[in-house]
Amino acid sequence: MQITGAVLERCGAPAPFAASEPITIGPLELDPPGPGELLVRIEAAGVCHSDLSVVDGSRVRPVPMLLGHEAAGIVEEAGSGTGIAAGRRVVMTFLPRCGHCDACRTEGRLPCTVGSAANAAGTLVGGGIRLRRDGAAVNHHLGVSAFATHAVVAAASVVPVDDDVPPDIAALLGCAVLTGGGAVFNAGRPGPEDAVAVVGLGGVGMAALLVAIALGHKAIGVDAVPAKLELARELGAAAAYTPAGAADAELRTPVVIEAAGSARAFETACAVTAPGGTTVTVGLPHPDARASIAPLVLTAEARTVVGSYLGSAVPNRDIPRYVALWRSGRLPLDRLVSDRIALADLPAALDRLAAGTALRQLVTF
């Protein structure tokens, strides 16, 4: 079938992308779903830092690539053996778990080896490519490629949700909430009385903050952008600081989540972790970035640093937890959405994300 999608032609174009135009929005051919795959009509797709990282070249992926990995949609056609019926709403998740490799036996601590290899190659988890343009293959982004009217994905890349979860909320569950929430739930594991600080209040960081608050923890936001500190307080944060303000206030909490993806944010996160505490890093800095911390404090203060990819998530275990918290009214995920945009506005949306002014911008179809 013919679809319309946003294809990245080259990595590392200079910002602003609305001017350098590394992305072409136009028609592509989408093959029908094979065994174990689904054709999904996309309803909403979030613009995430992991899209930006490919566009700006921080994370090089094979091009041309149809971007977008945080999305929700309706199954229009199911290949054999998926166990998911047409008509169901599904959350797309960007790291499929094959369920059979050694990493898949780690309860989310390690990303699936098979899924990671497929993501690096730009294929679906089964190895194939279903996207073509003028007869030439177009790579999939993280097994999803959701900046398009339709996508073919492996059933392992989705989690079905009930119809009462609207598409905007469902989309956020697949990356921002799975990653930020998992940093708290799976990696930080705060005790009942522990305060949680979050450094970097983008979509993932704000989701971590919301989940910490929903679980009853005292939560503190740290970000350089005053408007984000204001929003953090509105959402129920006990306090919110700039990095310099956190140092002045001598902030130290037992669990700290770094969600900014920069070496400086990692240093701030380490600096505000209390003795005996845990620093969780879920951001994805440039591979050449280097941070400076004094190893002595890790020893002397008996501290732990934990790396957590995708919030150490097992999507079909974790997404129902967040749906239940959202249904209870304790997880106001709609507050993460800063804009709803058309697909044609994607380059400008990436520029707003790079400028740090956007929270979650959703492409709606």
CB of 235 to Zn ion, least distance (A): 20
For residues 180 and 243, which CB has a smaller minimum distance to Zn ion in the complex? Answer: 180
For residues 104 and 170, which CB has a smaller minimum distance to Zn ion in the complex? Answer: 104
Contact with Zn ion (CB under 5 A) among 63, 74, 101, 263 = 101
Part of the chain binding Zn ion (CB under 5 A), chosen from 174-182, 235-243, 295-303, 345-353: 174-182
Are the beta carbons of 89 and 72 closer than 8 angstroms?
yes
CB of 54 to Zn ion, least distance (A): 11
Which positions from 4 through 33 interact with Zn ion, judged by CB under 5 A? none
For residues 178 and 218, give the distance between their C-alpha atoms in angstroms, rounded to a whole number. Answer: 20
**Closest to 265 (Cα-Cα) out of 248, 240, 285:** 285
For residues 197 and 284, which CB has a smaller minimum distance to Zn ion in the complex? Answer: 284
Chain centroid to CA 312: 12
Part of the chain binding Zn ion (CB under 5 A), chosen from 46-54, 78-86, 241-249, 286-294: 46-54
Q: Does 48 bind Zn ion (CB under 5 A)?
A: yes
Tokens of 96: 């499929």
Are the beta carbons of 66 and 132 closer than 8 angstroms?
no
Contact with Zn ion (CB under 5 A) among 13, 28, 50, 130 = 50
For residue 64, is the peptide bond before it cis, meaning its omega torsion is within 30 degrees of 0? yes
Q: Does 93 bind Zn ion (CB under 5 A)?
A: no
CB of 272 to Zn ion, least distance (A): 25
CB of 50 to Zn ion, least distance (A): 4
Write down the residue that tokens 């136009």 correspond to.
26
Are the beta carbons of 196 and 212 closer than 8 angstroms?
yes
Beta carbons within 10 angstroms of residue 208's beta carbon: 34
Part of the chain binding Zn ion (CB under 5 A), chosen from 106-114, 149-157, 311-319, 357-365: 106-114
Contact with Zn ion (CB under 5 A) among 52, 90, 104, 323 = 104
CB of 353 to Zn ion, least distance (A): 11
H-state helical runs in the chain: 17-20, 49-55, 113-121, 167-172, 178-182, 203-214, 226-234, 243-248, 263-271, 295-300, 315-327, 346-354
Q: Does 350 bind Zn ion (CB under 5 A)?
A: no
Q: Does 112 bind Zn ion (CB under 5 A)?
A: yes
For residues 141 and 124, give the distance between their C-alpha atoms in angstroms, rounded to a whole number. Answer: 9
Contact with Zn ion (CB under 5 A) among 40, 67, 71, 175 = 175
Q: What b-and-e string marks burial along 67-77, b requiring 16 or more CB atoms within 10 Å of the CB?
A: bbbbbbbbbeb
Q: Does 82 bind Zn ion (CB under 5 A)?
A: no
**Which residues of the shown chain bind Zn ion in the complex (CB under 5 A)?**
48, 50, 70, 98, 101, 104, 112, 114, 175
